[in-house]
Structure 1
Amino acid sequence: MTPTPPVGRLHVLTDFHFQQRWSHAELARQAAAGGAETVQFRHKTGTTRDRLAGLLPTVAACRAAGVPCLVDDHLDLALAAGAAGVHLGALDLPVADARAVLDGRGGGLIGATATTAEAARAAEAAGASYVGFGPVFPTGSKANPASVKGLDGLARAAAAVRIPVIAIAGVTPERVGPCLDAGAWGVAVMTAVTTAPDVEAAAARFREAVERWQ
């Protein structure tokens, strides 16, 4: 694993479920060109070898762009591909176990999904680098999403931890400012960028919203 980099404010998740125009690597390249500071490789189907085949060029594209690449769910793939870290959901490898593995190999980023302030605190205590909190707004990207938490829920989670909180689900450029006002460090988006007619331009709109807030 590479040394732990900073957690960016704009995270873009790659996708090959809602769109098949672009590979994960090309999505990563375009998103980074538009201002994404972190890319998360998200591929929920196929074999381990299928995922690795898509991940390797994605890590290379991120490295060329100077942004960290995180792997959704799979620490083994992150290690094999030399990614910057992993993002873990509630049913994935526990954060504490992933932290023990990464710290034994020089460190790395660990994101943890949380839907409550209590879960965010637990993730921080277990060694997470940041928390992905949501769904903040309604989303169509998951078949069975948790109940919408809103800006109030986001604010409670952000106040509960010292590590960065990244707001996810239903985030639009217009909602970036309110999320950051609520205490989020940044935002994570997927289809709002990956299914846009112009991926780079869509990422740039989110980046501009972050910069306006700053």
Structure 2
Amino acid sequence: MKIEQLQCYLVAGPQDYPELSLTEFIVKIEVLMQSGITAYQFRDKGTHYQNCEERLDLVLKLQSLAKKWQVLFIINDDVDLAQQIHADGLHVGQGDQIQAALKVPQAVPMVIGLSVSNASELAASQDSGADYLGIGPIFATQSKTDAAPALGLAKLAEILPQNHLPIVGIGGITESVLSDLAELGLNGVAIISMLTRSDNPTEAVQKIREAWRGI
């Protein structure tokens, strides 16, 4: 993984486009890939499929598009699925998942991402074996109902100096704070609503990429 691949990191699944069919969802994701996102994390709630085969078929189609557009393809939480399809990476939350993910033999090496939400988790993550971190929520978000309390820019600036791993911010991120986050030293942002709900997703991707250009 190159650090630049974390700059514009889309996190999305069919639940983020509830009005669309799976075929229409794929089209939306490809538009974002074509627009210049650098990484894509498939994060789904498992509520849009008739069976496991339909989910796997969707993931394989998305993976193929990610390869076409040279986008890092990450699976959220599902170790077995990530291994089965030889995903570029796996993103996990707190708890025993990171240890399990790192201990599972990998036919093809995977990038491992870990979510952290506060200073103590950030400190503990430094020796976890994770390849990169996702810190947040930075701001209040409606995309994740069980999210931890928002950090805010001041707290983020206070705790970031203890970090020595590649790191992206997530949670309630809008265009107005992109330059602030880049200047704080984040390597990119992981985005849901700013891209999935945008009237002009191509422009939104360009604004994110521009914020990190030259950083």
Equivalents in 2 of 1:130, 1:158: separation in Å? 14
2:32 paired with 1:12: no
Partner of 2:147: 145
Equivalents in 2 of 1:194, 1:87: separation in Å? 20
Cα deviation for residue 117 of structure 1 reads 2.3
Equivalents in 2 of 1:26, 1:101: separation in Å? 33
Q: Which amino acid aligns with 1:65?
A: W
Cα deviation for residue 52 of structure 1 reads 1.9
2:113 paired with 1:108: no
Cα deviation for residue 157 of structure 1 reads 4.0
Gaps of 5+ in 1: none
Moved more, 187-196 or 156-165: 156-165
Partner of 1:188: 190
Cα deviation for residue 166 of structure 1 reads 0.5
Q: Which amino acid aligns with 2:186?
A: A
Gaps of 5+ in 2: none
8 Å contact kept, 1:5–1:68: no
Equivalents in 2 of 1:86, 1:56: separation in Å? 15
Partner of 2:39: 38
Partner of 1:206: 208
Alignment of 1:20-169 (within 5 A): 20-21=19-20, 23-46=24-47, 48-90=52-94, 94-101=97-104, 104-169=106-171
| 1:11-33: CA deviation from partner (whole Å, max 9, x where unpaired) | 01123223243655333322222
Distance 1:16 1:112, change over 3 A: same
8 Å contact kept, 2:7–2:208: no
8 Å contact kept, 1:133–1:157: no
Cα deviation for residue 10 of structure 1 reads 1.2
Q: Specify the SS of the correspondent of 2:150.
A: coil
Distance 1:122 1:202, change over 3 A: same
Equivalents in 1 of 2:66, 2:88: separation in Å? 10
Equivalents in 2 of 1:122, 1:51: separation in Å? 34
Q: Which amino acid aligns with 1:80?
A: Q
Give the TM-score normalised by structure 1. 0.86
Equivalents in 1 of 2:159, 2:79: separation in Å? 25
8 Å contact kept, 2:182–2:211: no
Cα deviation for residue 85 of structure 1 reads 0.8
Query: What CA RMSD, in Å, does the superposition of the two structures yield over aligned residues?
Result: 2.2
Runs of 4+ with >6 A deviation: none
Identity of aligned residues (%): 25
Equivalents in 2 of 1:198, 1:10: separation in Å? 15
8 Å contact kept, 1:167–1:187: yes
Give the TM-score normalised by structure 2. 0.86
